[in-house]
């Protein structure tokens, strides 16, 4: 009998913030793709102008990722890599895999100067202990996705998939995206994070705040004695336009910055 994921302690990554950090920006679910240039430009402008000491990307930076070799052959992904490389030269830039880009490899991240984060990851920052996650593993009510997730996160599946020719991987990705879009337009209600599992993760980490993306439902929710911050997705090419940065302060405060109102500014 398998263990109940709601009560199983997660295996944590850790990120200990240097004493010099005063501000950390958190983003997720940008779903960058060549077909949505306004979202790309807003992201590029944000990274070029943010005054934060670190930017942590909590998954789904890319709409799809079928292997690092695809980036070498794609001008748009090369443009994204250039933005990451330039940003990493002046601040701490880190990436956590999401459900769309879990195949982003260490070679690509290293080439861009981006640090890898495990999911979930505990940010230890002065007196603060903040748990970070993409969030998809917490959405237990999406049973079909959880079965799929368990399959594709297995090393054997990934090895077999990445061994396929690039054109075949791209075709499979297009099919999966079409299925996802069909579900989106069907009016299906997306699952939220399971409250018991989220609280268990928080307790296991000794944290009082959980930050995650994935659900595209930006909000702040009570979670036991703490709080759960849900990040915004970014979509500036279609209505309704939405894009937020969650800015954390060393003293414990936080601000949501609306990038649709001032897409070229990272100022709080």
Cα–Cα distance between 263 and 41 in angstroms, integer?
A: 8
Model pTM score: 0.94
What are the structural domains, with CATH classification, of the chain? 13-258 (3.60.21.10)
Q: What's the 3-state SS for 225-248?
A: CEEEEECCCCECCCCCCECEEEEE
Cα–Cα distance between 267 and 259 in angstroms, integer?
A: 10
Cα–Cα distance between 80 and 116 in angstroms, integer?
A: 17
Q: Tell me which H or E stretch contains 212.
A: strand 209-212
pLDDT tens, the chain, 268 aa long = 567 889 888 999 999 999 999 999 999 999 999 999 999 999 999 999 999 999 999 999 999 999 999 999 899 999 999 999 999 999 999 999 999 999 999 999 999 999 999 999 999 999 999 999 999 999 999 999 999 999 999 999 999 999 999 999 999 988 887 877 766 555 556 789 999 999 999 999 999 999 999 999 999 999 999 999 999 999 999 999 999 999 999 999 999 999 997 544 333 3
Specify which residues 189 forms β-bridges with.
none
Long-range CB pairs of 238-244, under 8 A, 24+ apart, other chains included: 238/36, 242/218, 243/39, 243/42, 244/27, 244/218
């Amino acid at each position: 009998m398998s263990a109940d994921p709601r009560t199983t302690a997660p295996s944590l990554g850790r990120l200990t913030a240097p004493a010099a950090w005063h501000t950390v920006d958190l983003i997720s679910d940008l779903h960058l793709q060549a077909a949505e240039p306004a979202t790309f430009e807003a992201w590029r402008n944000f990274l070029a102008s943010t005054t934060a000491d670190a930017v942590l990307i909590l998954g789904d930076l890319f709409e799809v990722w079928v292997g690092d070799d695809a980036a070498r052959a794609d001008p748009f992904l090369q443009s994204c890599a250039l933005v990451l490389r330039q940003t990493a030269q002046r601040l701490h830039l880190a990436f956590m895999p999401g459900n769309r880009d879990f195949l982003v490899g260490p070679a690509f991240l290293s080439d861009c100067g981006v640090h890898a984060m495990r999911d979930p990851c505990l940010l230890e920052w002065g007196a603060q202990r903040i748990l970070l996650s993409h969030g998809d593993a917490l959405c237990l009510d999406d049973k079909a996705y959880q079965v799929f997730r368990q399959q594709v996160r297995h090393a054997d599946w990934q090895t077999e998939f990445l061994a396929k020719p690039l054109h075949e991987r791209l075709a499979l990705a297009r099919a999966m995206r079409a299925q996802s879009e069909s579900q989106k337009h069907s009016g299906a209600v997306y699952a939220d994070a399971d409250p018991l599992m989220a609280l268990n993760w928080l307790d296991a980490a000794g944290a009082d705040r959980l930050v995650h993306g994935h659900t595209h439902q930006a909000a702040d929710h009570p979670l036991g004695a703490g709080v759960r911050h849900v990040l915004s997705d970014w979509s500036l090419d279609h209505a309704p336009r939405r894009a937020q940065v969650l800015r954390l302060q060393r003293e414990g405060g936080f601000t949501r910055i609306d990038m649709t109102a001032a897409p070229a500014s990272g100022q709080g």
